[in-house]
Structure formats: C-alpha cells, structure tokens
Amino acid sequence: MTHFMHLPAAALLALSLAACAGAPAPDGAGVDTVAKAVEPSLRAAAATAEANQDWKGAAHHWRTLHSRYPQDKALALSLARALRYAGEAQAGADLVQPVLDRVGRDPALVAELGKAWLAADRLGLATRTLEEARSLAPSDWEVHSALGVAFDAAARHDEARAAYARALELSPDNPQVLNNLGLSQAMAGRLDEAVATLRRADDQPRAGSQIRQNLALLLALKGDAVAAERAAARDLPPEATRANAAFYRWAAGQGR
C-alpha cells in the first residue's frame, strides 16, 4: 500500500482539495490537471477504506473516481463490489448492467453482477448469472463458491457441495470456501462433517473471526457448549463472550 509521508491518504485528499479551493483553476485544462493530481490520493483512500472494511467510505471514493472516468470498467467493478459489501447490492447491480451492455459479457463483471443479485436476495437472477459466469471463467474459484451459496439458498445442497468441491480444487484449503462448505453440510443435517470442515477452515492462516463464530454455533448445536464458548472467546471481548455463553448452553441442550 502506498504511503505519503506520515499522513493517511484521506487526509492528503482533504489537504489537496483545500489547497484547490484557495486558488480556482483558470480554465477547463486547469480543472483536468487538478483532478488528475488528486486521483492517486482518491485511489489510496479507497484502498485504505477497503483494508479497514469501511465499505461505505470505499464506495464514496470509488464513486468519485467513477464519475470522473465513467468508461473505466475496472472502476465500475471496484465500485460495484464496495456497494455490495456496504449493503447496497441492488445499487451495484444497477451500476453493472449498463456497463455490460456497453462492453459485452465480461467475465469479471458478469460474476460481480451475479454476486450482487445474490446479496440482494434475487435468487433466480443470481443463479442464472453465476452459471453464466462459470461458463465464462471456469477457473475462477470465487464464481464456483458464490454459485454454491446460491444453490444452498435454494436448498440444492448436493449441487452446492459439488460447486464448493470444484472451488477447493482450484483454491485448495481456501478458508472462505471451507466455511461455505461447512455451513452447507450443516444445513443438510451432516453436523459432524460440518464441524470437521469448519475446524479445517479455522486451521488456515487466513481464517477470519466469522469462521470461528460459525464453528462455535455448530459446536453448541452438537451439544458441546464448553468448546463453543472457547472458540467464540478467541475473537469476542469478555462481555460479549459471557452474553453468548447462555445461548451456547441453550443450543447445546437442544442438540443433545
């Protein structure tokens, strides 16, 4: 990630804009020069926001860049992704569709459209679009994993697990795919397999806190409240751990 002295990118952008405010550009060429000058700071600010999982902030920065370069396919893709993670999946889908109309069936854009439909709970559209993305980019593990999620949402669990299996062939031991597979196994009533799969996911260096929280829930449903609390406590503060403990004990009682 690019660093500018000791100031964050967002601060640099604010300073640049403040400096511009004091001396208006004399003509259109000057405005264009200013826009190009602040572009690196905008890109850095967007990247920093994404790294901090500030998806609304990232979307704001990508939107500014996209308004400047509306024909840039990569910027449209970045903005649509940020909108999806910010909880504005429908807006992301609305953004991608006209871009596809203009550039054709680009694999990355088709995949993003399918993910946006999925996040917007437009299941039929999501499945059809992700199946198209799979045919366009058969070696993209993310497409297979997203299609698996769509199949699971439609209770097509066998097809979902086949999609996850293919994703794992393309990206072995990927914790995100293993997490999805484990939840699929749990939804199909295969709780022992699901716990084993999530333990395998948790053993990966890039495993995130959501995997451990899912593992804690499945351990509780399996009847092991102590192991559930131990797994959850690795990421939660003591107050939250205590608050969850009663639920895990209740879930463990239901699982016996």
Q: Report the distance separating Cα 178 and Cα 165, nearest Å.
A: 9
Alpha carbon 53 to its chain centroid, in Å, reads: 9
Q: Which tens digit of pLDDT belongs to each residue from 204-227?
A: 999 999 999 999 999 999 888 888
Pairwise pLDDT comparison (75 vs 4), residue with the higher score: 75
Pairwise pLDDT comparison (14 vs 42), residue with the higher score: 42
So what's the pLDDT on residue 247? 61
Least confident of 40-49, 116-125, 128-137, 224-233: 224-233
| 181, 161 Cβ separation under 8 angstroms | yes
Look up residue 30 and give its amino acid: G
Residue 6 pLDDT grade (very low, low, confident, very high; cuts 50, 70, 90): very low
Residue 18 pLDDT grade (very low, low, confident, very high; cuts 50, 70, 90): very low
Residues whose CB is less than 8 angstroms from the CB of residue 94 and which lie 6 or more positions away in sequence, other chains included: none
In three-state form (DSSP H/G/I as H, E/B as E, the rest C), the secondary structure along 65-88 is HHHHCCCCHHHHHHHHHHHHHCCC
Residue 2 pLDDT grade (very low, low, confident, very high; cuts 50, 70, 90): very low
Q: Which tens digit of pLDDT belongs to each residue from 153-162?
A: 999 999 999 9
Rounded average pLDDT over 114-130: 98
Q: Which two tokens stand for residue 137?
A: 């980019």
Q: Which tens digit of pLDDT belongs to each residue from 73-89?
A: 999 999 999 999 999 99
Please say if the pLDDT value at position 3 is more than 50: no
Residue 242 pLDDT grade (very low, low, confident, very high; cuts 50, 70, 90): low
Rounded average pLDDT over 181-194: 95
Q: Report the distance separating Cα 173 and Cα 171, nearest Å.
A: 7
Residue 7 pLDDT grade (very low, low, confident, very high; cuts 50, 70, 90): very low
Please say if the pLDDT value at position 252 is more than 90: no
Q: Report the distance separating Cα 218 and Cα 158, nearest Å.
A: 20
Look up residue 57 and give its amino acid: G
At residue 7, what are phi and psi to the nearest 5 degrees? -105, 140
CATH number of 60-137: 1.25.40.10
So what's the pLDDT on residue 13? 32
Q: Which of 70, 107, 77, 73 is nearest to 92 (CA)?
A: 77
pLDDT, mean over the chain: 85
Rounded average pLDDT over 237-248: 66
Please say if the pLDDT value at position 14 is more than 50: no
